[in-house]
Each structure stands twice: as structure tokens, then as C-alpha cells.
Chain A
């Protein structure tokens, strides 16, 4: 199975900051990488698909990049609604569609 490793596991940031989360795959997954946002008690929400495509309705201050094994999720001008946990997920080699262990954004 392909393993997905995210870093950091948590991040303390302020409103208006720029944040970058990384996700590394244990082998090449081309661009089959998706990012999800999850808030407490809610289901995950698709933010970015195919590594860099923005899901409809997601603000343009959210962006994704990368291919192969290394990927990043960047959020600029952090807003209160951005404080959540973020997960990457590979869909290149399935099953299983493996997820990363998550990165929690906390308010500094």
C-alpha cells in the first residue's frame, strides 16, 4: 500500500498568516492527490483535487501544488473559518485510497 505522510502534524498560526502543509507519498502517485478540510464533528470536505485544481466554491487563497511524491497545500491570508484539520489522500493506486494522518491548524 502507498503510505501518505503529512507534516507538520499541527501548526499554530494567526489570522492573516500564510501556511504551507506538505504531504509525501511513499511512491510516485503522479497528480492523483486530493486535499480535504475537516472541522470538528463534520465530514471531510474536498478542497483540492488532482494536486492543484480548486474545488468549486473553495476560495482562491487556497492552492495546491506538486506531483510525483511531494505535494503542498498553501493557504494565504488565513481566515477564522480556515482553522481545521487538513488531510491529503492519494487515489493513484487503489485500493486502498490512503489518507495522511492530518495537519491541525490552531489559532496562535
Chain B
């Protein structure tokens, strides 16, 4: 069965960086795009980025351009999301989600809480 397993919760200070991982299993990793979506407390989901695991090409939301990097490791079927220059407004649950086509996100990771606090 398809599973996306994310790394554990993080607490960071303002200005620091965080790198969250998402390990995929149960399907051909390079056949499906992967998204990162975050959700601040009490807010709706916010789309951040997408990666094509086959060639590593990425697209980022303009809001995060220059601060976010999405990478993948095909040998371990893992995608990574690094967010730099963290501020308190980045406190959120970060999700990876598989795109089965046409932007339909059919499998999601369990979420990783990133807390930014001094």
C-alpha cells in the first residue's frame, strides 16, 4: 500500500533552517510528482512547491522563492523540503502529498510540525 512517512517535529529559532523528509513506499517513486503543502494553526492549506522525482525539476510558490528548496533521493524514494530564514509565521504543519495527475493529491504524509520560536 502507498505510504508517505515524514520526519518528526522540529523546533527552530528565528533565522534558522529546517529540512523535512518524506519517504515514499508502495509505488514507483519516479512516476508521480510530489507536493509540499503547509497549514498554519487554524488556517487552510497553503501550497508551497512541487517536484518531479524523475528528473528533480521543481516549481515553487512565489511566496517562498529563494527560501525553499525541494530535492529528492531516488535511491531511498525520499523527497526533502528545506525552508531557510525561518520566522514565527512559518510555524505550521508541513505535509508532503502525492499527485496522481491533474493536481489531485491522493496520498498525504502524516504531517510534520515545525515550530519557530525564540
Contacts from A to B (Cβ < 8 Å): 32, 34, 36, 43-46, 49-50, 55, 87, 89-91, 94-102
Contacts and interface: CB of A to CB of B under 8 A. Distances in A.
B95 interface: yes
Given A43-B95, A43-B108, A43-B109, A97 B103 contact: yes
Given A43-B108, A43-B109, A43-B110, A91 B102 contact: yes
Given A43-B110, A95-B61, A97-B35, A87 B45 contact: yes
B104 interface: yes
Interface residues of B, number: 24
Given A32-B103, A43-B95, A91-B104, A98 B110 contact: no
A100 B103 CA distance: 15
A43 B95 CA distance: 8
Interface of A is mostly: loop
A96 B61 CA distance: 6
Contacts, number: 63
A23 to B, nearest CB: 12
Contact of A34 (B43, B46, B105): B105
A87 B44 contact: yes
A18 B35 CA distance: 33
